[in-house]
Amino acid sequence: MGLVRTGVALDSDLLRRFDRLLAGESYENRSEALRDLIRNRLNEARVQSGEGFVVGAITLIYDHHHRLLPERLTELQHRYHEVIISTVHSHLDHDLCLEVVVVKGELKRVQELGSRLIGLKGVQHGKLVMSSPDSYGRRTRNGTNRNTATDHRHPD
C-alpha cells in the first residue's frame, strides 16, 4: 500500500478546533489523526451495512448473585459458540464480574449475540465493539476461508 498525498481545503476555524482536540489526545501528528477518522468512518459504514465479517469484543459487567444470570450467560455463549473465540472472566470484587467475550464471524450473528447478552436482566453495563477487517483492506475471502482471514506471522 503506497502513500498518496492529498490536499484538503478546510476552514481555519474547523482546523483550529480539530488541532485543539488533538492536543488532548496522543496522536503523533495531524495526518495520523485524519487517517484514524477516515478508518473509523469506513469501519462504521461497513458495520452499518449489516453484512460481512467482523471481529470484536463484548464487555459485560454484572452481579453474579443475580438470579440465574450466570447460567443464562453460559447457555447463550454455548448457543453462539461458532462466533466466540474465547471468554475472559474476572471477579472484580465480592459481587461484580467483568466478562469479555471475544468474537469473530458474521456481523448479524455477532450483533445478535451482543444484544442478547447485554440485554440479559442483571447485566449492569455492556458494550459490543466491532471492527470490520474489510474496511481497512483485509481480504476475508467471503464465504469460505473466514477462519484464516486474519492469518499472519508474528515476529519471533
The residue ranges that bind Ni ion (CB under 5 A) are: 64, 91, 97
In the complex with Ni ion, the residue whose CB is nearer, 49 or 124, is 124
CB of residue 28 to Ni ion, shortest distance in Å? 39
Alpha-carbon separation of residue 124 from 67, 69, 96 (angstroms): 14, 11, 10
In the complex with Ni ion, the residue whose CB is nearer, 73 or 97, is 97
Q: What does the alpha-carbon distance between residue 25 and residue 38 come to, in Å, rounded to a whole number?
A: 17
CB of residue 99 to Ni ion, shortest distance in Å? 8
CB of residue 10 to Ni ion, shortest distance in Å? 49
Q: What does the alpha-carbon distance between residue 26 and residue 12 come to, in Å, rounded to a whole number?
A: 22
CB of residue 97 to Ni ion, shortest distance in Å? 3
Instruction: Output the residue with the shortest Cβ distance to Ni ion.
Output: 97
- Quick check: 117 and 126 in contact, CB under 8 A? yes
Q: What does the alpha-carbon distance between residue 59 and residue 66 come to, in Å, rounded to a whole number?
A: 17
In the complex with Ni ion, the residue whose CB is nearer, 64 or 109, is 64
In the complex with Ni ion, the residue whose CB is nearer, 33 or 102, is 102
Burial profile 80-98: b = 16 or more Cβ within 10 angstroms, e = fewer: beebbeeeeeeeeeeeebe
